[in-house]
């Protein structure tokens, strides 16, 4: 199959709707200028022809050799009979089931834990993405006191601009409904009718392994609010840090790996090696979380030769405390104490 060309023939069936009738990869490759915006929890992958980036097919959806199933959920295209290589159905590979709310889900199966989250079972582990907007609205002259309010008949909260006269003094009410504290507004950052404001980085989305951290800022040419993301790793999974705690001590707070390591995401590996610090563990029930961090750019090289540029959190120091999440709390990203000292 030539990776430089693909086309897909589509036929309409009155009972099944649009259906992939056959495909070849023998024409000039033609891709849209911008990749598609996939729904929450759906991977953006290279199609089976090695041609364009597409939204991966999900469990139970029709698939072809071009329209691939979501590899990050352990799905594959089941064509049934060996002589049928045109149309298949996305099926999960064998894996451990998940139990959530008294219901058993198969590996690769997607479900909604509530109207706010869509979750996927993957070999015994559950991962969830928010269905409601996670945007942060900072105070502005036309909306000095934004806050989220519950709207009757709707699942997701919506922003409302509160009147400063309802609270007496405007300044005392500004931070009342903010999910993340801001570093501003700082009058020294006023430039060309733009009061620059930036929130702190949120906690890492995972307690071990690679996760993401977010913040909101209007520090750009258009003075427009935008969400920034960075990769983060609080500690490697199955690191057995307890064995490194010295005799007579209860915690190992900020250990550094002894040998250089590379980070990996979706099969792509960093082009350089690093010796990062991680947050340790305690023997007395406390948990250790990032306290001071910095953000550095990184390059990831993928098997297909593509190079991705990402920003990543690097830990300077950690703090150990009793403010820990519950054992079954899969929505735990807000429990961390706020990280300070990172404006990068």
In this structure, are 126 and 146 located in the same domain?
Answer: no
In this structure, are 202 and 312 located in the same domain?
Answer: yes
User: pLDDT tens, 182-219?
Assistant: 444 444 555 566 777 788 888 888 888 888 888 888 88
In this structure, are 226 and 297 located in the same domain?
Answer: yes
Domain that holds residue 59: 44-92
In this structure, are 104 and 151 located in the same domain?
Answer: no
Would 342 be classed as within a structural domain?
Answer: no
In this structure, are 312 and 250 located in the same domain?
Answer: yes
User: pLDDT tens, 117-137?
Assistant: 888 887 777 777 788 876 666
The reported pTM is 0.47
Would 336 be classed as within a structural domain?
Answer: no
Instruction: Annotate the chain with three-state secondary structure.
Output: CCCCCCEEEEEEECCCEEEEEEEECCCCCCCCCCCCCCCCCCCEEECCCCCCEEECECCCCEECCCCCECHHHCEEEECCCCCCCCCEEEEECCCCCEEECCEEECCCCEEEEECCEEEEEECCEEEEEECCCCCCCCCECCECEEEEECCCCCCCCEEEEECHHHCCCHHHHCCCCCCCCECCCCHHHEECCEECCEECCCCCCCCCCEEEEEEEECCCCCCCCEEEEEEEECCCCCCCHHHHCCCCCCEECCCECCCCECCEECCEEECCCECCECCCEECCCCEEEEEEEEEEEEEEECCCCCEEEEEEEEEEEEEEECCCCCCCCCCCCCCCCCCECCCC
In this structure, are 201 and 306 located in the same domain?
Answer: yes
Would 15 be classed as within a structural domain?
Answer: no
User: pLDDT tens, 258-277?
Assistant: 889 999 888 889 999 999 99
Would 16 be classed as within a structural domain?
Answer: no
Would 6 be classed as within a structural domain?
Answer: no
Would 327 be classed as within a structural domain?
Answer: no
Would 183 be classed as within a structural domain?
Answer: no
Is 332's pLDDT higher than 70?
A: no
In this structure, are 109 and 156 located in the same domain?
Answer: no
In this structure, are 88 and 102 located in the same domain?
Answer: no
In this structure, are 250 and 233 located in the same domain?
Answer: yes
Number of domains in the chain: 4
In this structure, are 286 and 312 located in the same domain?
Answer: yes
Would 25 be classed as within a structural domain?
Answer: no
In this structure, are 111 and 216 located in the same domain?
Answer: no
In this structure, are 231 and 156 located in the same domain?
Answer: no
Lowest pLDDT segment from 3-7, 257-261, 310-314: 3-7
């Amino acid at each position: 199959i030539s990776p430089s060309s693909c086309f897909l023939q589509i036929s309409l069936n009155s009972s099944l709707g649009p259906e992939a009738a056959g495909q070849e990869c023998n024409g000039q490759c033609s891709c849209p200028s911008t990749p598609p915006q996939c729904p929450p929890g759906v991977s953006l992958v290279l199609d089976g022809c090695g041609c364009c980036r597409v939204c991966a097919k999900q469990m139970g959806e029709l698939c072809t050799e071009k329209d691939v199933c979501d590899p990050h959920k352990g799905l594959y295209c089941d064509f049934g009979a060996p002589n049928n290589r045109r149309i298949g159905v996305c099926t999960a590979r064998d894996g451990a089931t998940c139990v959530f709310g008294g219901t058993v889900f198969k590996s690769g199966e997607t479900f909604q834990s509530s109207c706010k989250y869509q979750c996927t079972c993957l070999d015994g582990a559950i991962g969830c993405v928010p269905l409601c907007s996670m945007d942060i609205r900072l105070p502005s002259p036309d909306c000095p006191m934004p806050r989220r309010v519950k709207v009757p008949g709707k699942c997701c909260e919506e922003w409302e601009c509160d009147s400063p006269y309802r609270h007496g003094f405007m300044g005392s009410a500004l931070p009342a409904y903010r999910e993340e504290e801001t570093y501003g507004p700082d009058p020294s950052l006023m430039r060309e009718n733009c009061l620059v404001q930036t929130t702190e980085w949120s906690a890492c989305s995972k307690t071990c392994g690679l996760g993401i951290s977010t913040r909101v800022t209007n520090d750009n040419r258009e003075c427009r609010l935008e969400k920034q993301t960075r990769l983060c790793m609080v500690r490697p999974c199955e690191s057995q840090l307890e064995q490194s705690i010295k005799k007579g001590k209860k915690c190992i707070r900020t250990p550094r790996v002894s040998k250089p390591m590379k980070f990996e995401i979706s099969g792509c590996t960093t082009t350089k090696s690093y010796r990062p610090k991680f947050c340790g563990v305690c023997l007395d029930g406390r948990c250790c979380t990032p306290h001071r961090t910095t953000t550095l750019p990184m390059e990831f090289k993928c098997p297909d030769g593509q190079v991705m540029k990402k920003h990543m959190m690097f830990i300077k120091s950690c703090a150990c405390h009793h403010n820990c999440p519950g054992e079954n709390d899969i929505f735990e990203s807000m429990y961390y104490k706020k990280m300070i000292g990172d404006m990068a």
